[in-house]
Structure 1
Amino acid sequence: METMRDRFAPVVTRLLDEDPRVAVVLAEIGTDAFTEAVRRHPDRVVNVGIREQLLVGAAAGMALTGLRPVVHTFASFLVERPFEQVKLDLGHQDAGAVLVSAAASFDWPAGGYTHMAPGDVALLDTLDGWTVHVPGHPDEAETLVRHAVAAGDDKVYVRLSLQANAHPLPVDGERLRTVREGRAGVVVAVGPLLDAVLAATEGLDVAVLYATTVRPFDAAALRRATEAAGTDVVLVEPYLAGTSVAAANDALSDVPHRVLGLGVGRRELRRYGRLEEHVAAHGLDARSLRERIGAFTGAGAPLRPRPPSTVPDRAMAH
């Protein structure tokens, strides 16, 4: 199956053809995918080398001249390493850009902890005015990248992942989508975790909402869902557990409610393992999710307990 990142470069190359404002800024990672774009638009595709602070700073400079820069590298190098530049060069100067990351929370376990970024969305939450898209399928990634580039001069983060759902859903860059109705609680599945959530909640009397845009958070849709399904809310996010709990609490601040935030744990897993093993170790596989969602909402009996998931003893990540 084509990955979100496979789709990204061809889409942005077409955007370079279509819109003279669009520019691309890279830091070595992903340059091979933009060979044709460099040939066709050498003045608007820039590789700054392994200099992530410059990556964001150069994009901010382009934005201040009227361009719409699309900035790409691994999430840990795009949000965490140059965070001061994201905060000041973009935020403080009110300069817009489209940051498109790869590797998500742990897409490349062999790269070690330096290439993992489960805290990226939570970190951007400390800043004002960011839109955050988390597609769950390559088709959705294409739609949301196009939406982000067309979003005037806004600050937008698009989080690409190797994890993906089997089928895309229509997305509009704004609203939560109701996928399943229920009466014993609401489960919000973010991006590539929708399939696991649907499998986990099969037969449980809970509503399932699908989120591919998590900032701004669609408070109105969550409120509507809780009116029918009750105010027990479970957030299932492919990044740091609890990242959107405050947003859900704010949405329901005037009614009694409970919120459970599921996602990537804070404990560092120091073995390579495989992507699927990291998913299971953080309790984001369908079986673990069913146990935790069922126990919290009371919508169904948990499955038989099993030993905690661990990442096998392979080569050390560092």
Structure 2
Amino acid sequence: MRAQFKNTVSELAAQDDSIVIVLGDISVYMFKDFWEKHPNRFYNMGICENTLVSVTAGLSSQGFSPFVHTICPFLTDRSLEQIKLDMCYNNFAGNIVTCGATFDYAWDGATHHAYTDLASLRMLPNMEVLHLGSKREVDALIRSQYKSPRPTYYRLSDHPHTIETNTEFGKGTVLKNEGAPLTVMTAGPILTNVMEACRDLPVNLVYFHTLKPIDKALIEQFRDTEILVVHDAYGLYEAISEVPALRMRYHGLPDAFCGWYGTVHDIRKRIGLDPASIRGAVQTLLEDRSQATRPR
């Protein structure tokens, strides 16, 4: 997904002189060609995330279309105040692009895990929030949104899915509609595991890449079903809850820090987000519904 981000922005920058890259010592070599072609529009500012965001806001105020990019927890947690005040309060357009989603840096421990970004940035006025799940989504949504009049957050992962989804901003995708009484809703790269878990189960399956604004009209279509939100970060459940009076359950992260090491797949399995665990959670809900509707 990072490579697609670089390719898309580089292609756009060849035609749009307003595009500027601001890096925090990550993906620098990847953007080597960009730097050589556009040296006056490339800034590697090192590990100083607060300054990265303030510079991005300043560039936006002067009519540029900046992309600020570094590792997720350092940009969205450490620099939340600058994102809130410099960008959102002033409603300065700009593109915040992170790598290292959720447990992508699993081996580096809790300091490098990132699962609060979507939830915290969703709460900021004027912010648009994208949890991109595939390279195709990265390409399409950067092209459609990089000139948005609002600040826009793009979350990239090292583990993209390859499933065909609707790439229109603000729109979800119905991947399975069986008229079932249970609807599974998910977002981002975890779709790979959710699809595998639900492939032959009698459930509806809905996918989102845009968490703000969430596709409320699509959610309303499944109001009469029970909704199970499966997600590997905080934020999707809360976004769906903007549609009032839904019957919802959640299967995802516990209310705890992850203190384990290993691969992203190891950690997903430990917290119940591998395909088998997701399938078990869905089957339990199906069985509960079956027992509740069985004649006594």
Q: Same fold (TM over 0.5)?
A: yes
Runs in 1 of length 4+ with deviation above 3 angstroms? 297-301
- Residues 91 and 126, structure 2, Cα contact 8 Å, conserved in 1: no
Distance in structure 1 (CA, Å) of the matches to 2:163 and 2:176:
15
Q: Deviations over 1:37-82 (max 9, x none)?
A: 1111111111111110000000000000011111100111111111
1:122 to 119, 124, 128: 119
Contact 2:187 2:236 in 1 (8 A): no
Is the contact made by 1:140 and 1:168 (CA closer than 8 Å) also made in structure 2?
Answer: no
Query: Displacement, 1:280?
Result: 1.1
Deviation at 1:300?
8.4
Residue in 2 that maps onto 1:288: 277
Alpha-carbon distance between aligned partners in 2 of 1:149 and 1:138, rounded to the nearest angstrom: 16
1:178 corresponds to = 174
1:239 to 230, 233, 249: 233
The answer on 1:46 being equivalent to 2:43 is yes
The residue aligned with 2:294 is none
Partner amino acid, structure 2, of 1:237: H
1:10-46 alpha-carbon deviations (Å, 9 max, x no partner): 2111121121111111111111111111111111111
- Consecutive unaligned residues in structure 1, runs of 5 or more: 302-318
2:16 alignment partner in structure 1: 19
Task: Tell me the equivalent position of 1:192.
Answer: 189
The one-letter code of the counterpart of 1:99 is: I
Q: How far apart in 2 are the matches of 1:21 and 1:66?
A: 7
Q: Name stretches of at least 5 consecutive residues in structure 2 with no aligned partner.
A: 291-296
RMSD in angstroms over aligned alpha carbons?
1.8
Q: Take 1:46 and 1:107, find their aligned partners in 2: how far apart are those partners?
A: 25
TM-score normalised to structure 1 length: 0.86
- How many angstroms apart in 2 are the aligned matches of 1:26 and 1:85? 16
Note the 1:138-177 alignment, pairs <5 A. Answer: 138-151=135-148, 153-177=149-173
Structure 1 residue 125: deviation in Å?
2.3
Alignment check: 8 A CA contact 1:294 1:300 kept: no
CA 287–93 in structure 1, closer or farther in 2 if over 3 Å, else same: same
Tell me how far apart the structure 2 counterparts of residues 36 and 209 of structure 1 sit (CA, whole Å).
Answer: 39
How does 1:292-303 map onto structure 2 within 5 Å? 292-298=281-287
Q: What is the SS of the residue equivalent to 2:47?
A: coil
**In structure 2, distance between residues paired with 1:193 and 1:85:** 29
1:244–1:261 contact (8 Å) kept in structure 2:
no
Shift of residue 85 of structure 1? 0.3
**DSSP-derived class of the 2:58 partner:** helix
Cα pair 1:205 1:299 within 8 Å, conserved:
no
Looking at structure 1, the residues matched to 241 and 286 of structure 2 have their Cα atoms a distance apart, in angstroms, of 17
Q: Matched residues in 2 for 1:236 and 1:208: separation?
A: 11
Q: Distance in 2 between matches of 1:124 and 1:279?
A: 23
d(CA) in 1 for partners of 2:144, 2:131: 13
Asked whether the 8 Å contact 2:93–2:147 carries over to 1, the reply is: no
1:250 equivalent in alignment to 2:242: yes
Distance in structure 1 (CA, Å) of the matches to 2:169 and 2:261: 34
How has the CA–CA distance of structure 1 residues 93 and 214 changed in structure 2, closer, same or farther, with 3 Å as cutoff?
A: same
Distance (Å, rounded) in 2 between the aligned partners of 1:161 and 1:300:
35
Q: How many residues align?
A: 289
Q: Would you say the 8 A contact 2:122–2:211 is kept in 1?
A: no
Residues 247/137 of structure 1: CA separation in 2 closer, same or farther (3 Å cut): closer
Query: Cα gap change, 1:249/1:167 in structure 2, threshold over 3 Å: closer, same or farther?
Result: closer
* 1:35 alignment partner, SS class: helix
TM-score (norm 2): 0.92
Matched, 1:274 2:252: no
Cα contact 1:223–1:252 (8 A) shared by 2: no
